[in-house]
Amino acid sequence: METKKTEKPERDYPIFTVAMKETHTILIPTMLQIHFQLLINVFKFYGYKAEILQSESKKVIEEGLKNVHNDTCYPALLCIGQFMEALKSGKYDPNKVALMLPQTGGGCRASNYIYLLRKALKDTFPQVPVISLNFVGLEKDPENGWQTPMPMIIRMIYAMIYGDMLQTLYNQCRAYELVKGTSEKMLNHWIKKANKILCTKDYPNTKKYYELMLNDFAKIQRSQVPKIRVGIVGEIYVKYSPLGNNHLEDFLISEGCEPVVPSMLEFILYYLVNKVHEAKLYGNYKATTPIFQGLYQFFLAEQKKVVHVMRTHGVFIPPHEFEHLLNSVKQYINLGVTMGEGWLIPAEMGALAESGTENIICTQPFGCLPNHIIAKGMSRAVKERYPNANIIAIDYDPGATRVNQENRIKLMLANARSSQK
Amino acid sequence: MQNTNIYTLGIDVGSTTVKTVVCTESGEILHSDYERHFSKVKETVIQQLQEIAEKFPNARFRSSMTGSAGLGLANAAEISFVQEVHAAFLAVKKTFPDTDVVIELGGEDAKMIFLTGGVEQRMNGSCAGGTGAFIDQMATLLGITVQELDEAALKAKRTYPIASRCGVFAKSDIQPLLNQGASREDVAASIFKAVVDQTVAGLAQGREIKGKVLFLGGPLSFQKGLRKAFVQGLGLSEGNAIFPEHAPVFVALGSALYALESKDSPKTAELLLQKVQKAKVRSDVMTGEKLFSSREEYAQFVERHKQCDLRYADLRTYEGNAYLGIDSGSTTTKLVLITENGELLYSHYSPNEGQPLDKIAERLKQIYEDKNENLHIKASAVTGYGEDLIRAGLSVDYGIVETVAHFKAAAFFCPNVDFIIDIGGQDIKCFKIKNGAIDSIMLNEACSSGCGSFIQTFAMALGYDIGEFSQMGLFAEHPVELGSRCTVFMNSSVKQAQKDGATVEDISAGLSSSIIKNAIYKVIRARSTDELGKNIVVQGGTFLNDAVLRCFEREIGRQVIRPAISGLMGAFGAALYAKQQQEENGETTLISPEALEKFSYTSRNIRCGGCTANCLLNVIKFSDGGKFISGNRCEKGAGVKRETEVPDLYDYKYHYLMNLVKKNPKHPKAVIGIPMVLNYYELLPFWYTLFTKLGFSVVLSGESNRKMYFKGQHTIPSDTVCYPAKIAHGHIEALLEKNVDLIFWSCMTYNLKEPNTDNQFNCPVVAYYPELMKANHSGLTEENFFNPYLDINSRKNVIQVIRKTFKKYNIYREVPAAVDSAYQALADYRKLVMYKAKEIISQARAEGRKIIVLAGRPYHLDEEINHGIHKLITSLGLAVVSEDSVAMFGKMPHLHVYNQWTYHSRLYRAAQYVTTQPDMQLVQLVSFGCGIDAITTDEVRSILESSGKLYTQLKIDEITNLGAAKIRLRSLLAAMNA
C-alpha cells in the first residue's frame, strides 16, 4: 500500500496532541463486545484514557442520518451517529474527548469513515480530534499524540486473541447453560482476569491461560441436547456489533440456536497475509513486506496453538485452521480479492459448511460494494460445493426493520430444522 | 365429555389479510376464510375464530399461526408459529408433490421455493417492490381499481419496458408513459410484466424456473392478467402452470399441516379465542410527541395560515385580460386563470388519471363556457411533466421549467423568499434562492420518490380517503416513529407498528412526520435546519395536509408560509409567467373554443429507425393535423434536423471505442471476446492493441441495450449492484453467442495511477466483477474465461501475467513489445480525448455556447447506461465534454476525503477546473447503488459551490425516464442564463 508523504499536510482539523494524552478521553464506538473491553485496557496500559460507547438509543441512528450522506454504509452511519449522540448527550466535555475510528486503507469506503466523521464534527464540535487506528502509516504526523509502537500493536493483537477465545467459549456455553447467567458470570470474571494478564509480561504465555479458561468454562453446567449451530459471517462491523445487527446473537439464542462467530484473529491474519500476497501478485515488494510476513507467521502460529489447545482439551469445538481457510477458498475465488472482507467471507462460509455448520447468516450493510461480489456473488459457488449449505444474506440499514430481518432468519431456521429431521 | 372431533387449524396473518383454514387430519379442507384486516389484526383473527367456534361447536383443534404479521400475536397468545414460506412448502409437499417451483406473491412479500434439484426457499430482500402492494399502488396511480387494472391488462396489445426493481422506479417509468398518452391497457399489462421481471430478477438469482410451477398468494389467484403475464413470461406450457383452487388460503393450510406435524395439543376454539383476546402484543414502537396539544392550538394554526390567501374574482362577471397557467404534473393536473392583478378567477386540481391531455381539454372547455364574454385570455403557459404534450396539443403559448414556475409563484407571496420546498404526489423539489435566481436544486432521487401519493395509497389500503386519513393524524395520541427512508421501507415499518398495536391515527401522524424527515434529511440533507433559510415557502398538494405542515414547522422550528393555493403554485407561477411574457406581445396562440370543440387525438407506437437505439416512439396525432412524438432520446426521432451539430465528447468517445476494432490478424491464434463494460470503456485501446499484436483477433460484445440486459438477468446474484455491472451479464451472453474462443476480463484491484492522489484503487465492483461472473455463470470455465489479476501500472507485472495466462499460445517472446505498444495506444487514446476536449471547448466558445462537463466514469459512455443524457444536453444547445478529458487541465483541490480511487479523483480535478472557467458547469452522473459516490458527490458539490458554481447531480439506473433529468438541466440552463 502506498501512501503519499506530504511534508506538512494542509490540515483544517485538530489532531490528538501529545498533551491530550493527559487530558482527553478517547471514545470508541460499539463493535466487539468482549474484545474492546480488553483493547481499551491495553490503551490504558500505554497511558491513554479510553471509553467504549454503549448507547443504542434511536438518537444514534437519527444523528447518523443527519450527519452523513444517507447512501453511506450503515456502519459509518452508526459509528458517526453514536459519536454525535455521545457528544450531544452532555455526558462528555467536548473539550476533553477524542474520537477513534479504525482505518484499513483498503479499496472500500471504510477508509473514508474518518473523513466523514471530521466533516460531521466541523460545524458542531470543531475542537474534537479524531484518531485513526491503522497499521499502514496513515495520518503519520510527528505532532500526533497517538502512537502505536510495535510492542503496543502486538499487545493489542493479543487482546483480540484473548477476546476471541472468550467469545468462542461464551457462545458455546451460553446456548447450553442449565443455570441461566452462569456463562455470563464466567465471562465477566475472565474479562477482568484477562485484563490483568495483559498488563503483565506474561501475556504471550497463551497456552497456559487458554487452558485455565477452557477448564473454567468447562465447569459450567450445560445441556447435552445438540442445538442448531448458526454461523455468522459478513461485513466486519455488522457481523460483530449488536447495534449493527439488532442483537443477532441474542436473537439466535432465543430461537434455541448456538451462534458460531468467526474470530477476529482470522480477520487480522487475512489482513496481514494480503499484504504478502499482493506483493507476490503484483511484484511490488516493499520494505514493510517482510514485517507483514513476520507478523503473519507469528500470529499464524498463535492461531494454530488455539486450535491445538482446544482440540487437546476436548470439550469445546475449536475454530478452523487459518491455513485451511486460505487453501480451501481458492476453489471459489482468487486470493487477490482483498477489498472489504474479500476472500475471507467465502472462505468462512465454505469452512463452516464443511465442518457441519451448514446454516449461515451473511450479514451485510445494505448496498455494501465488496459484498456484492464476495457474499451474494459467492454463495452459489459455495452451495455448489456444499449442497446442504443453508445460506441467507441479511441486509442491515436504518430503514430495514427488525421484523423483516427476523422473519428471514426464521425462514432459514425452518429450513435448518426440516433438514435436521 | 362426549366424543369430539379433532381438526387442525391454520391461521395466516399476512400484511394485509387474515386467512384461516380448518381441515381434517387427512388434510381435507372443511372451512376457509379470507379477509382484509385493515391493520386491525387481532380483531379480524378473533372474528374468524368466532365463526369457527360456531361452525364446529364440539371440535378441538391442533393449531398454528403463520404470516409476516403473525409472529407477535402468536407469541403473545402462546400459539405455535411457523415461518410462512416454510408453511407454503409443507402445503405444497402435501397437495402438489410433483411441483418443481413455487412462486408466491403476497401483499408485500414475494417468495420462491425450489423443490427439485436442492430445496431452496427464498424471500424478497429488504429492497423490493413488485408485490401486491405495488400493484395496488399502480392501480391508484391509474385511478382505477385493481380489478379494472387486471381487466385492462387482458386487452393489451403491447407492453413497454418498466423498471422492475422497485415500485418507486416503476412509477417513474409509468408516469411518462401515461403523460405521453400510452393506452391504459398496455400500461396495465406492462405493470404485470414488471412484476414478473422483478420476481425473476429478485428471487431466481441464477436458478432457472422450469418444470411444474405452482402459483400462490392473493394477487396470483385473483388477477387473471397477472397470471397470464407469469405464464407467458416464464414460457410455461398449459399443464406446467398450476393455480390451485385454494391459493389464497394455501399458506394457512400449510400452517394447519405444521400444527398436525408438530403434534400441537388439541384445544377448543373457545380456549384459542380466549388466548388471542388476552394476548398483549409487546409494544416496542417508538412514539413521538402529539402534533397539537389541543383543538385551540390547532385553530390558531389554521388561522395563521389562512392569511396567505389570494384574492378572488368571478369568472362569470370579470371583464378584461386574463392569463392561464397549467401545471401538468406527474399525477395531478392543475389549472389557474388569473386577472391582471393576480386575482384568482378559476382553479382546478385533480388527479390526471393517466389522461392529462383529456383532463385539461375538458377543463378548458368549461372555462370557455363559463367565462364572461368580455373576459379575454391573453396568454397561457404550461409547466410540468406533460409540458411538451400539452403545448403541442392545445397550442399553449409558453413552456416553463417547473422550478422557475414555482419560484415565480413563491415570490408573489414572499418577495424575499430564500427557500422553497414543494412536495407533490410523486416528488419532492426544493430549491434555494440567491440573488433573485434559483441557486441550488434538490430533487428526491428515484429511491424515495412518491411521497404524497404514498400517504394516499396507504389511506386507501387502510380503508380511508386521503382527506379523512390525514385529518386523523392531527390529534393522534402517540404518533409512531416510522423512520426516514424510501417508502418501500416505510411499508414494513408501518407493518411493524400495526403489529405492535398502533392506531390508525398514530400511523397517519407518523407518516406525515416521516415525509418531512425524508425531505429534510434525505433530499435536502440539511445538517441543521437553519441551513434551509429564513423565508421559507412550502407548497405542493401534500402540504395542504395540515399534519404534514405542522410536522415541517416543528422539525425546522420556524414558521413558514403556505399559500392557500399550495397545490396550485406551479400553475399559478406559469400564469404569472404568461402575463409577464405577453405584456408587450400580441394575441395568444391558445386553442380557440371552436377548435377545442373538435379537438381529438389518436396515439400509436412505432420504432424509430434513426439509429441503433431503436427507441420506441409514441406518436400522437391531433385532429388539426399536428403531431407529437415522445419516447425519443434525441432529435432524430422527433423528426428535427439540427442546423449545426453541437459538439459532444461523449458521442465522439463512444463511437471511437466501438469502432476501434478494425484490423484483426488473418490467421488468429485464437479469438478473444471482450465484454464492453466497466473499465473496458477506458482500457480497450490497451487490450485491443496488446492482443492483436500478439496475433489474436478481438471481438467485442457489442452495444448495450435493454434486450441484452434481460438476456443476462437470470445470472445476476445481487440485484442491488449498479446497472453498469448488471448489464455485464448480458454482454457475456452476447460473447458466448458469438462463439469466441475465450473471454478476457482482468481483475484489477488497482487502476491507473493519477497525479496527486492517496492511492489508485478501482471500486470493488469494477475490480472484482469478473470473479462474480465466473462464479455465477455455468457457461464460464477455466478454459474459456480468463480473469487474471494484474497491476496495470507495472509493465513488469503485466508482462509476467500475460505470459502466464496465454502460455499455451507460445507468445513468450512477443509479449514485451506488444505490451509497450499497448501502453502507447492507451497514452495516445487519452491524449486524443484531451485534444478533442480542447477542440470542443474552443468550437463551443466560437459559437457562443456554454459547456457542460458531464462527469461520471468511463463506462457512463454507454448509452444504455447514460440514457442519452449527453444528447439531452446538446439538444439544449450546450456542448459536452467528459471528466477524464478535462481532469488534466485542473489541479487537485484541497479535499476532505481520502482520495484513493482513480476514476473518482478525476472528478475532483474536473470540478476544480470548472471553477476556473466562467462558461462551464459540471453535471455529475451517478449510477444508483454506487456507494462510492455517496462520498464523491458531497465533495464535488463543495468544490463547486465554494467557487459559486452550481452543483447538478443526475442519478441514473435502469429507468429510461428523462423527465427529472430534464427539469434539472433546464433549471441549470435557466440559472446559467440568469
The answer to whether residue B243 sits within a structural domain is no
Kindly tell me if the per-residue pLDDT of B963 is higher than 80. Answer: no
Across B201-210, B573-582, B627-636, B949-958, least confident range: B627-636
Cα separation, B88 vs B85, in Å, equals: 5
Kindly tell me if the per-residue pLDDT of B617 is higher than 60. Answer: yes
Residue-averaged pLDDT of chain A = 90
pLDDT of residue A336: 93
Provide CB contacts within 8 A for A131, sequence distance 6+.
A16, A26, A98, A99, A100, A101, A146
Cα separation, A15 vs A129, in Å, equals: 5
**What grid cell was written down for B221?**
389467484
Q: How confident is the model at residue B165 (pLDDT cuts 50, 70, 90)?
A: low
Cβ B118–A399 below 8 Å, yes or no? no
pLDDT of residue B128: 47
Among chain A residues, CA nearest to B528: A66
Phi first, then psi, for residue B336 (nearest 5°) are -135, 150
Q: Give the N- to C-terminal CA distance of chain A in Å, as an integer.
A: 50
Q: What is the pTM of this model?
A: 0.83
Cα separation, A80 vs A109, in Å, equals: 14
Question: What tens digit of pLDDT does each residue of B52-102 get?
Answer: 999 998 889 999 999 877 888 888 888 888 888 888 888 888 888 888 898
The answer to whether residue B303 sits within a structural domain is no
Are residue B316 and residue B438 in the same domain, yes or no?
Answer: no
What is the 8-class DSSP label of residue B557? T
**Domain end position, chosen among B560, B589, B618:** B560
Burial (CB count within 10 angstroms: exposed 0-12, middle 13-18, buried 19+), residue B530: exposed
**Domain end position, chosen among B796, B828, B860:** B828
Counting the structural domains of chain B, the total is 7
Enumerate domains of chain A plus CATH numbers.
20-148 (3.40.50), 225-420 (no CATH)
Are residue B374 and residue B323 in the same domain, yes or no?
Answer: yes
Percent of chain A with pLDDT over 90: 67
Q: Give the N- to C-terminal CA distance of chain B in Å, as an integer.
A: 90
pLDDT of residue A58: 83
pLDDT of residue B758: 87
pLDDT of residue B628: 81
Burial B888-918 (b: 16+ CB within 10 A, else e): bbbeebebbbbbbbbbbbbbbbbbbbbbebe
User: DSSP of B131-166, one letter per residue?
Assistant: SHHHHHHHHHHHTS-HHHHHHHHHT-S-------S-
The answer to whether residue B517 sits within a structural domain is yes
Kindly tell me if the per-residue pLDDT of B701 is higher than 80. Answer: yes
Are residue B37 and residue B77 in the same domain, yes or no?
Answer: yes
pLDDT of residue B959: 65
Cα separation, B445 vs B965, in Å, equals: 11
- Cross-strand bridge partners of residue B336: B325, B347
Are residue B591 and residue B681 in the same domain, yes or no?
Answer: no
B522 touches chain A (CB under 8 A): yes
Torsion, Cα B176 B177 B181 B187, to 10 degrees, reads -150
Question: What tens digit of pLDDT does each residue of A85-107 get?
Answer: 999 999 999 999 999 998 877 77
Q: For the residues A372-394, what does the mean pLDDT come to?
A: 89
The answer to whether residue B142 sits within a structural domain is yes
B45 sits in which H/E element: helix B41-55
Burial B665-693 (b: 16+ CB within 10 A, else e): eeebbebbbbbbbbbbbbbbbbbbbbbbb
Cα separation, B804 vs B812, in Å, equals: 9
Q: How confident is the model at residue B741 (pLDDT cuts 50, 70, 90)?
A: very high
Q: For the residues A274-278, what does the mean pLDDT come to?
A: 92
Q: Can you list the alpha helix ranges (DSSP code H) found in B414-482?
A: 451-461, 466-472
Q: Which of A158-162, B69-73, B451-455, B899-903 has the highest mean pLDDT?
A: A158-162
pLDDT of residue B491: 65
What residues 698-757 of chain B have any CB closer than 8 A to a CB of chain A? 717-718, 720-721, 725, 747, 749-750, 756-757
Percent of chain B with pLDDT over 70: 89
CB A255 within 8 A of CB A413: yes
Percent of chain B with pLDDT over 90: 37
> Could you give the strand order of the β-sheet that contains B671-674, starting from the edge strand earlier in sequence?
B697-700, B671-674, B742-744, B785-786
Cα separation, B359 vs B143, in Å, equals: 13
Q: What is the ipTM of this complex?
A: 0.92
Place of cell 455494501: A368
pLDDT of residue B429: 80
3-class SS of residue B870: helix
Across A37-51, A300-314, B14-28, B668-682, least confident range: B14-28
The answer to whether residue B286 sits within a structural domain is no
The answer to whether residue B585 sits within a structural domain is yes
**What grid cell was written down for A54?**
454503549
Kindly tell me if the per-residue pLDDT of A404 is higher than 80. Answer: no
**What grid cell was written down for A71?**
447512501
Question: What CATH number is attached to the domain comprising B590?
Answer: 3.30.420
Cα separation, A304 vs A306, in Å, equals: 5
Provide, as residue numbers in chain A, all residues whose Cβ is less than 8 Å from the Cβ of B771. Answer: 333-334, 337, 373, 377
Comparing CB atoms, the residue among A107, A120, A380 nearest residue B761 is: A107
Q: How confident is the model at residue B137 (pLDDT cuts 50, 70, 90)?
A: confident
Question: What tens digit of pLDDT does each residue of B432-475 get?
Answer: 887 777 777 777 654 444 466 667 767 776 778 777 888 888 88
Across B20-24, B494-498, B916-920, least confident range: B494-498
Are residue B378 and residue B506 in the same domain, yes or no?
Answer: no
Across B22-26, B158-162, B643-647, least confident range: B643-647
Question: What tens digit of pLDDT does each residue of B854-870 get?
Answer: 999 999 999 999 988 99
The answer to whether residue B290 sits within a structural domain is no
Are residue B591 and residue B554 in the same domain, yes or no?
Answer: no
Across B377-381, B481-485, B617-621, least confident range: B481-485
Cα separation, B444 vs B437, in Å, equals: 21
Are residue B583 and residue B701 in the same domain, yes or no?
Answer: no
Cβ A395–B759 below 8 Å, yes or no? no
The answer to whether residue B486 sits within a structural domain is yes
B367-371: list long-range contacts, CB under 8 Å, 24+ apart: B367/B315, B367/B324, B367/B335, B367/B337, B368/B593, B368/B596, B370/B315, B370/B316, B370/B346, B371/B315, B371/B316, B371/B322, B371/B345
3-class SS of residue B222: helix
pLDDT of residue B638: 57
Q: For the residues B923-950, what does the mean pLDDT come to?
A: 89
Are residue B90 and residue B117 in the same domain, yes or no?
Answer: no
Are residue B905 and residue B843 in the same domain, yes or no?
Answer: yes
Comparing CB atoms, the residue among A118, A283, A376 nearest residue B794 is: A283
pLDDT of residue B127: 47
Among chain A residues, CA nearest to B531: A123
Place of cell 414555482: B406
Provide, as residue numbers in chain A, all residues whose Cβ is less than 8 Å from the Cβ of B285. Answer: none
pLDDT of residue A3: 43
Provide, as residue numbers in chain B, all residues whose Cβ is less than 8 Å from the Cβ of A69. Answer: 525, 934-935, 937-938
Across A85-89, B391-395, B640-644, B842-846, least confident range: B640-644
pLDDT of residue A405: 81
Cα separation, A3 vs A230, in Å, equals: 40
Cα separation, B243 vs B900, in Å, equals: 54
Place of cell 387474515: B18
Q: What is the 3-state secondary structure (H, E, C) of chain A?
A: CCCCCCCCCCCCCCCCECCHHHHCEEEECCCCCCHHHHHHHHHHHCCCEEEECCCCCHHHHHHHHHHCCCCCCHHHHHHHHHHHHHHHCCCCCHHHEEEEEECCCCCCHHHHHHHHHHHHHHHHCCCCCEEEECCCCCCCCCCECCCCCHHHHHHHHHHHHHHHHHHHHHHHHHCCECCCCHHHHHHHHHHHHHHHHHCCCCCCCHHHHHHHHHHHHHCCCECCCCCEEEEEEECHHHHHCCCCCCCHHHHHHHCCEEEECCCHHHHHHHHHHHHHHHHHHHCCCCCCHHHHHHHHHHHHHHHHHHHHHHHHHCCCCCCCCHHHHHHHHHHCCCCCCCCCCCCHHHHHHHHHHHCCCCEEEEEEECCCHHHHHHHHCCHHHHHHHCCCCEEEEEEECCCCCHHHHHHHHHHHHHHHHHHHC
**B434: domain range?**
428-560
Q: For the residues A381-397, what does the mean pLDDT come to?
A: 88
Question: What tens digit of pLDDT does each residue of B305-324 get?
Answer: 888 888 888 999 999 999 99
Q: Which of A283-292, B280-289, B607-616 has the highest mean pLDDT?
A: A283-292
3-class SS of residue B761: strand
pLDDT of residue B2: 45
Q: How confident is the model at residue B3 (pLDDT cuts 50, 70, 90)?
A: low
Burial (CB count within 10 angstroms: exposed 0-12, middle 13-18, buried 19+), residue B539: buried
pLDDT of residue A79: 94
Kindly tell me if the per-residue pLDDT of A152 is higher than 60. Answer: yes
pLDDT of residue A361: 95
B765 touches chain A (CB under 8 A): yes
Phi first, then psi, for residue B897 (nearest 5°) are -130, 165
Cβ A339–B768 below 8 Å, yes or no? yes
**What grid cell was written down for B520?**
429534510
> In terms of Cα–Cα distance, which of B206, B242, B278 is closest to B49?
B278
What is the 8-class DSSP label of residue B592? P
3-class SS of residue B914: helix
Kindly tell me if the per-residue pLDDT of A191 is higher than 60. Answer: yes
Provide, as residue numbers in chain B, all residues whose Cβ is less than 8 Å from the Cβ of A9. Answer: none
Across B163-172, B375-384, B471-480, B514-523, least confident range: B163-172
- Cross-strand bridge partners of residue B480: B287
pLDDT of residue A421: 59
Question: What CATH number is attached to the domain comprising B221?
Answer: 3.30.420.40
Q: Are strands B671-674 and B697-700 parallel, antiparallel or unpaired?
A: parallel
CB B523 within 8 A of CB B443: yes
What is the 8-class DSSP label of residue B100? S
Are residue B396 and residue B442 in the same domain, yes or no?
Answer: no
Residue ranges with strand state E in B597-721: 601-607, 616-622, 627-630, 671-674, 697-700
Comparing CB atoms, the residue among B286, B718, B800 nearest residue A58 is: B286
pLDDT of residue B878: 93
**Domain end position, chosen among B504, B536, B560:** B560
Q: Is the Cα dihedral A261, A263, A264, A268 positive or negative?
A: negative
pLDDT of residue B36: 83
Residue-averaged pLDDT of chain B = 85
Are residue B46 and residue B124 in the same domain, yes or no?
Answer: no
B292 sits in which H/E element: none
Largest CA distance in chain B: 101
The dihedral region occupied by B631, where left means phi > 0, alpha psi between -120 and 50, and beta the remainder, is: left
Q: How confident is the model at residue B1 (pLDDT cuts 50, 70, 90)?
A: very low
What residues 314-343 of chain A have any CB closer than 8 A to a CB of chain B? 332-334, 336-340
pLDDT of residue B806: 96
A294 touches chain B (CB under 8 A): no
Provide, as residue numbers in chain B, all residues whose Cβ is less than 8 Å from the Cβ of A374. Answer: 768
B897 sits in which H/E element: none
pLDDT of residue B248: 81
Q: Can you list the alpha helix ranges (DSSP code H) found in B473-598?
A: 487-499, 504-517, 546-556, 569-582, 593-597
Provide CB contacts within 8 A for B453, sequence distance 6+.
B137, B140, B141, B331, B425, B426
Are residue B555 and residue B668 in the same domain, yes or no?
Answer: no
